[in-house]
Structure formats: structure tokens, C-alpha cells
């Protein structure tokens, strides 16, 4: 928070000019600067910000004229919906692929999976997003355009949870649900492929280490089935490490969806953060950054708590 605050104050973009415009008189500029407290020393400004933060006040957004808390409540559910779908798909695909690659290490299957994962982890995510739009939207016409919903469906579903797919189901509006699902598919698919590549590579590495363990050799010597050896003995012992990978990957999706949301015009926290930064709306930038940091800490704590459930040896 301190680093982000200081960077925001020394940026060449003047938040006062962003509010009142380039052609405002100098006396107006100085008056607004005093009203915002930007004429005070940096340590005083930071102290005021921390005091307000302790009282649940993240300030007011210059861009939307709403409080930052209200804006985060409005935009963050879209990011959570996108990231959650992406991590579910990435886990369901990436973990079995990683296990399969480890079991068949050195084979053509292993090489193919490694190439697939290397491509997904190496190609910039904005390039994957642009390719997806070019192929599935512009050329093939299989996918709808950017955005979270078609113009004809905007505002039709009452907001209950903030997740458009769930709210559509609650309202029993199947047309809105299918439209929301169609718009969700492309950005979630891009994020899922990017995350799946990392999850599969880590799963493969963990499984190779586990399959070389003496307990696996002993299990095979006892005549246990291949499936039981792989999933019960080997995979069971990597579950703890895999939880950390999944938790941090999910946190990375909540933060790293910035580029994807921008390309697909997805109205989430990432796009809100990008537009706020370009408009020198530092209260919004600080608030969004703080939310991401808290999510990282919370998911790390949840991963630590899950250790005790997955491994009784952890006290």
C-alpha cells in the first residue's frame, strides 16, 4: 500500500488536472489541490489515507464520482465470476494432464502435453485473447462480441449476487443465462488455458517426484492396481503442495485478469483498475490494489488451513 501510494503521488499524471481539465485557471487548480490535501507533505497525505482506511473509507473515485467501496462492490463480482470459472476449468483439465504426463514420462503423450503447456505458459495472454477474438468471433462467428452481455439483455436480470450467470438462473431467465455463458466462454477459456499450462506443469513435476518414492514402489510390489497407486498413494501425497499452487493461481487470476478484461471489454476490477490508472484516479487504484493484496493473504491462509485437512501430519 505504501509503495503504491508513493508511486501514485510521483506519477507525471496530475490528478487535479484529470478532475478539472487542462484549461482550468491556476487559482482553481491550486484551490482543488488544497481541497484534496495534495499540497501537504507525502507522509501527512499517507497518514490521512491510512486513518481513513482504518474507518473503512477508501476515498471517492474521480472517474465515477462514487465511493471506491461502492465501485469495487459493483465491478469485483464480474472478475470473481470470470476467475472462478477459469480456475475450475484449468484444474479439471490441468491436473489430469499433469498426472498423465508424469505416468507416461518420456513418451509421445508426455512430449505433446509438455509442448501444449509450454505454449500456454509462454505466449502472452493478451496475444491469446486477441487470437481468440480474431478466430472465434471475427472469422468463425461462433462467439459473441466483447462485453459481459449483449445489449439486448443488459439490465434485464435483477442483481442479487453480482454474478450474471447465477442471477440469470435465479430469475429463471434462460435467454440471459445462455447469453451470459456465451460471453463468459472466451475470456474464461483464455485464462483457463494460461492457468492450465502452469497447473499441469507443476502437477507433472510433483507426480514425478512422488512416483519415484519408496512408498509407491512398495505399493506396486504389494500388487495394488495402477489406478490406486497413482491416485491414492502418489497423488494423495502431492495434494498439499498442489493446494498452494491452485490457491496462488486463483489469486493470480483475480489480479492478472487486467489484460484479459481490457481486451474483451469485461466490466470487472481489472478494467476498472486500468481505466482508473489512465485517468490518474489514485483512490480507485489504491483501493483495487489493496483488495488484490488482501485476497492473496486470504488465499494463502486458506491454503495453510487446508493442509491440516489433507495431511494429518501437519500440526
Q: What is the model's pLDDT at position 12?
A: 65
How confident is residue 313, by pLDDT bands cut at 50, 70 and 90? low
Q: What is the model's pLDDT at position 256?
A: 61
DSSP helix/strand/coil, 185: helix
Q: What is the model's pLDDT at position 282?
A: 80
Instruction: Classify residue 62: in a domain, yes or no.
Output: no
Weakest-pLDDT range from 5-14, 142-151, 180-189, 256-265: 5-14
Judge if 179 and 212 occupy the same domain: yes
Range of the domain at 24: 2-54
Per the CB < 8 A criterion, the answer to whether 91 and 243 are in contact is no
Residue 297 has pLDDT above 80, yes or no: yes
Question: Assign residue 127 a region: left if phi > 0, alpha if psi is -120 to 50, beta otherwise?
Answer: alpha
Judge if 18 and 106 occupy the same domain: no
Choose one of 54, 77, 97: the last residue of a domain: 54
Judge if 232 and 260 occupy the same domain: yes
Residue 274 has pLDDT above 80, yes or no: yes
Instruction: Classify residue 315: in a domain, yes or no.
Output: no
Q: List pLDDT tens digits, range 201-259.
A: 999 999 998 888 777 778 778 777 778 888 877 888 888 888 888 988 888 888 767 78
Instruction: Classify residue 186: in a domain, yes or no.
Output: yes
Per the CB < 8 A criterion, the answer to whether 299 and 243 are in contact is no
Judge if 239 and 101 occupy the same domain: yes
Handedness of CA 23, 26, 27, 32 (dihedral sign): positive
Judge if 99 and 215 occupy the same domain: yes
Which CATH number characterizes residue 150's domain? Answer: 1.10.3720.10
Instruction: Classify residue 59: in a domain, yes or no.
Output: no
Judge if 213 and 283 occupy the same domain: yes
- DSSP element (H, E) containing 177: helix 174-211
Instruction: Classify residue 61: in a domain, yes or no.
Output: no
Q: List pLDDT tens digits, range 39-76.
A: 788 888 888 888 888 888 888 887 787 888 889 888 88
Per the CB < 8 A criterion, the answer to whether 164 and 81 are in contact is yes
Per the CB < 8 A criterion, the answer to whether 204 and 118 are in contact is no
Q: Which of 59, 50, 61, 52 is nearest to 1 (CA)?
A: 50
How many domains are contained in the chain? 2
Per the CB < 8 A criterion, the answer to whether 248 and 199 are in contact is no
Per the CB < 8 A criterion, the answer to whether 86 and 195 are in contact is yes
Residue with the bigger pLDDT between 191 and 221: it is: 191
Instruction: Classify residue 63: in a domain, yes or no.
Output: no
**Distance (Å, whole) CA 286 – CA 290:** 6
φ/ψ (deg, to 5) at 225: -65, 155
Judge if 74 and 50 occupy the same domain: no
Residue 4 has pLDDT above 80, yes or no: no
Residue with the bigger pLDDT between 234 and 310: it is: 234
Judge if 21 and 140 occupy the same domain: no
Instruction: Classify residue 121: in a domain, yes or no.
Output: yes
Judge if 142 and 190 occupy the same domain: yes
118, three cell numbers = 509450454
DSSP helix/strand/coil, 188: helix
The strand ranges marked E within 24-127 are none
Q: What percent of the chain has pLDDT over 90?
A: 17
Q: Which of 170, 147, 149, 174 is nearest to 158 (CA)?
A: 170
Instruction: Classify residue 157: in a domain, yes or no.
Output: yes
Q: Show Cβ contacts of residue 94 under 8 Å, excluding neighbours closer than 6 positions.
A: 195, 196, 197, 198, 199, 200, 203
Judge if 181 and 90 occupy the same domain: yes
Once rounded to an integer, what is the mean pLDDT over residues 119-141? Answer: 86
- Is 0.75 surpassed by the pTM of this model? yes
Judge if 108 and 7 occupy the same domain: no
Judge if 47 and 75 occupy the same domain: no
Q: What is the model's pLDDT at position 85?
A: 93
291, three cell numbers = 483488495
Q: What is the model's pLDDT at position 315?
A: 61
Amino acid at each position: 500500500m505504501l509503495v503504491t501510494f508513493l508511486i501514485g503521488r510521483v506519477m507525471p499524471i496530475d490528478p487535479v488536472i484529470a478532475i478539472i481539465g487542462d484549461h482550468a485557471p491556476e487559482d482553481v487548480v491550486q484551490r482543488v489541490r488544497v481541497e484534496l490535501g495534495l499540497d501537504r507533505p507525502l507522509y501527512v497525505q499517507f497518514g490521512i489515507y491510512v486513518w481513513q482506511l482504518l474507518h473503512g473509507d477508501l476515498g471517492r473515485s474521480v472517474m465515477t464520482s462514487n465511493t471506491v467501496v461502492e465501485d469495487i462492490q459493483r465491478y469485483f463480482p464480474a472478475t470473481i465470476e470470470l476467475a472462478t470459472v477459469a480456475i475450475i476449468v484449468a484444474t479439471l483439465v490441468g491436473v489430469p494432464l499433469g498426472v498423465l504426463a508424469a505416468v507416461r514420462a518420456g513418451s509421445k503423450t508426455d512430449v505433446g502435453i509438455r509442448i501444449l503447456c509450454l505454449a500456454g505458459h509462454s505466449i502472452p495472454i493478451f496475444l491469446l485473447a486477441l487470437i481468440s477474438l480474431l478466430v472465434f468471433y471475427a472469422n468463425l462467428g461462433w462467439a459473441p462480441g466483447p462485453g459481459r452481455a449483449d445489449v439486448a439483455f443488459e439490465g434485464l436480470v435483477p442483481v442479487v449476487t453480482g454474478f450474471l450467470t447465477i442471477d440469470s438462473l435465479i430469475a429463471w431467465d434462460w435467454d440471459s443465462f445462455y447469453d451470459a455463458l456465451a460471453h463468459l466462454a472466451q475470456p474464461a477459456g483464455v485464462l483457463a488455458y494460461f492457468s492450465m499450462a502452469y497447473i499441469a506443469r507443476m502437477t507433472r513435476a510433483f507426480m514425478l517426484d512422488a512416483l519415484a518414492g519408496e512408498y509407491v514402489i512398495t505399493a506396486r510390489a504389494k500388487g495394488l492396481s495402477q489406478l490406486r497407486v497413482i491416485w491414492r498413494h502418489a497423488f494423495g501425497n502431492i495434494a498439499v503442495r498442489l493446494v498452494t499452487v491452485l490457491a496462488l493461481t486463483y489469486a493470480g487470476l483475480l489480479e492478472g485478469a487486467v489484460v484479459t478484461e481490457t481486451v474483451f471489454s469485461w466490466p470487472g476490477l481489472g478494467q476498472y483498475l486500468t481505466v482508473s490508472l489512465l485517468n490518474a484516479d489514485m483512490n480507485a487504484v489504491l483501493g483495487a490494489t489493496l483488495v488484490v493484496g488482501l485476497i492473496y493473504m486470504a488465499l494463502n491462509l486458506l491454503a495453510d488451513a487446508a493442509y491440516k485437512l489433507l495431511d494429518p501430519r501437519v500440526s
